[in-house]
Amino acid sequence: MKGGKKINNTSTKKREKAETLFRAIEKIIPDLRDRIVLEMIGTPLTHSRFLRRYRGTYGPAIAAKEGRFPGCKTPIKGLYRVGDSTLPGIGVPAVAASGILCANSLVSRPESVGLLSLLPSASSLQ
């Protein structure tokens, strides 16, 4: 790659699979490969190895008719669960929401509102 770093983790099969995606994106960005600074090809095995994802999955899928993701509470006192295996489910926004739901279950509504005053104001962040 031009001036970039290429991590040498590309088996032939991985490279073949990635080629399909490269060709699709090159229809929109023809010089895609020239623009790459760092290339790392990930597969379900990568997710399994580095994120301890069960069989490298994207995240758990529970069909609506089959039940719901578990909430944050557990039978063990002081132990809570959050993340994409819990309500409301997969994806970064849902995972953030699971943290919010859990935090809200730990403090009362007035306490939660009171904590907002500890946040820096939007203007002080600029």
Ligand X SMILES: Cc1cc2nc3c(=O)[nH]c(=O)nc-3n(C[C@H](O)[C@H](O)[C@H](O)COP(=O)(O)OP(=O)(O)OC[C@H]3O[C@@H](n4cnc5c(N)ncnc54)[C@H](O)[C@@H]3O)c2cc1C
- Point out which residues bind ligand X (CB under 6 A): 47, 51-52, 58-59, 83-84, 90-93, 95
Distance between CA atoms of residues 32 and 19, nearest Å: 12
Name the residue nearer to ligand X (CB basis): 4 or 58. Answer: 58
Task: Return the beta strands (E) in 10-68 as ranges.
Answer: 38-39
**Smallest distance from ligand X to CB 126, Å:** 27
When the beta carbons of 4 and 93 are compared against ligand X, the nearer one is 93
Q: How far is the CB of 6 from ligand X (least distance, A)?
A: 20
Compute the least distance from the CB of residue 93 to ligand X, in Å.
6
For residue 98, the minimal CB distance to ligand X (Å) is 8
Find out whether 82 and 102 touch, Cβ atoms under 8 Å.
yes
Query: CB count, 10 Å around CB of 24?
Result: 9
Give the pair of three-digit tokens for residue 43. 């597969």
Report the residue number whose CB is nearest to ligand X: 83
- Omega of the bond prior to 88 within 30 degrees of 0, cis? yes
Q: What is the DSSP letter of 84?
A: T
